[in-house]
Amino acid sequence: MTKTEQFTDIGGLFAKSREMVEMCRGTVYGYLRVSTQAQSHERQVEAMRELGVLNENMFFDKQSGKDFDRPGYNSMLELLKTGDLLVIKSLDRLGRNTAEAKEQWRILTKEKHVSIVVIDTPVLNAGKELGPLGEAVSDIILTIFSLIADFDRFSIIQRTQEGILNSVKRGTKLGRKPLPVPDEFYIYREKYIKKEISQRLAAKELGIARGTFAKWLRELDEEENLAVKNS
């Protein structure tokens, strides 16, 4: 069995993720990214550990994937060298800007000679272990996936714009539907007017945001003032 055969499956072209990790002669790194501070890397960490990526070799970022100005990614990039392996959970964890993601893919595979494992899409696995034909196929598939991602984003934007336009034509108000005003609001309104309770506490008792309580107060005042003017 040749070295290339060790790392391939379908038609001898696509590399097996676990075998690439186990047979890597360099260091196996994992890159994990979420878009906001509120999100967790937990699912990505679990997937990395299942493949055998060590905790100390995982690099994390909590920010948008629109560009590669990220501390975690840049720190890892400085360490990567020929023969190393980079593991990512999915292609969009690397980045969402298609042009920049493809450029980084080129830098990683062609300049730094690093192999890449994409856990969710093994057909994208790239590295010297695949042989020249496997590398070429991987690059072609990356381009196809990138085009599909661009088309999906364009379709979503287009459908959103069409939906907004249709809503405007129908006279539909955009945004969330307003919360119904509960009967208890009027009780707390009287307490607020009598200075027996604050807006913050009244809102808390009603289970709504303080801004919502203030909005209801304002709207009711406007309705009452209009009724007085028209009487």
Per-residue pLDDT of the chain (231 residues; tens, 9 = 90+): 334 334 444 333 445 888 889 889 899 999 999 988 888 899 999 999 999 999 999 999 998 888 899 999 999 999 999 999 999 998 888 887 777 888 888 899 888 989 999 998 887 787 655 555 556 666 666 666 666 555 455 454 455 555 555 555 565 555 566 678 887 888 888 889 888 899 999 898 888 999 999 999 998 888 777 765 665
Whether residue 71 is contained in a domain is answered as yes
Q: Among the options 17, 35, 146, 198, which is catalytic?
A: 35
pLDDT at site 28: 97
Does 16 share its domain with 122?
yes
Does 94 share its domain with 193?
no
pTM comes to 0.58
The total domain count for the chain is 2
Asked which of 149, 176, 204 is the last residue of a domain, the reply is 149
Whether residue 198 is contained in a domain is answered as yes
Q: Which residue has the tokens 């509960």?
A: 182
Whether residue 105 is contained in a domain is answered as yes
Q: Write down the H helix ranges in 25-97.
A: 42-51, 71-79, 91-94
pLDDT at site 8: 41
Question: In terms of residue numbers, what domain contains 221?
Answer: 184-230
pLDDT at site 148: 59
Asked which of 149, 174, 200 is the last residue of a domain, the reply is 149
Whether residue 159 is contained in a domain is answered as no
Question: Between vectors from CA 216 to CA 214 and to CA 220, what angle results, nearest 5°?
Answer: 120
Q: Which two tokens stand for residue 102?
A: 């493809």
Whether residue 197 is contained in a domain is answered as yes
Does 136 share its domain with 35?
yes
Whether residue 173 is contained in a domain is answered as no
Does 207 share its domain with 104?
no
Does 137 share its domain with 214?
no
Query: What is the spatial distance between Cα 63 and Cα 33, in angstroms, rounded to a whole number?
Result: 7
Question: Between vectors from CA 109 to CA 104 and to CA 114, what angle results, nearest 5°?
Answer: 110
Contact between residue 113 and residue 58 where contact means Cβ atoms under 8 Å apart: no
Is 198 a catalytic site residue?
no
Asked which of 149, 175, 198 is the last residue of a domain, the reply is 149
Does 9 share its domain with 99?
yes
Does 140 share its domain with 202?
no
- Report the CATH number at residue 83: 3.40.50.1390
Whether residue 36 is contained in a domain is answered as yes
Whether residue 85 is contained in a domain is answered as yes
Cα–Cα distances (Å) from 31 to 3, 62, 81, 121, 221, in that order, read: 26, 11, 15, 15, 55
Residues in contact with 210: Cβ distance below 8 Å, sequence separation at least 6, in sequence order = 199, 200, 203
Does 72 share its domain with 130?
yes
Does 31 share its domain with 134?
yes
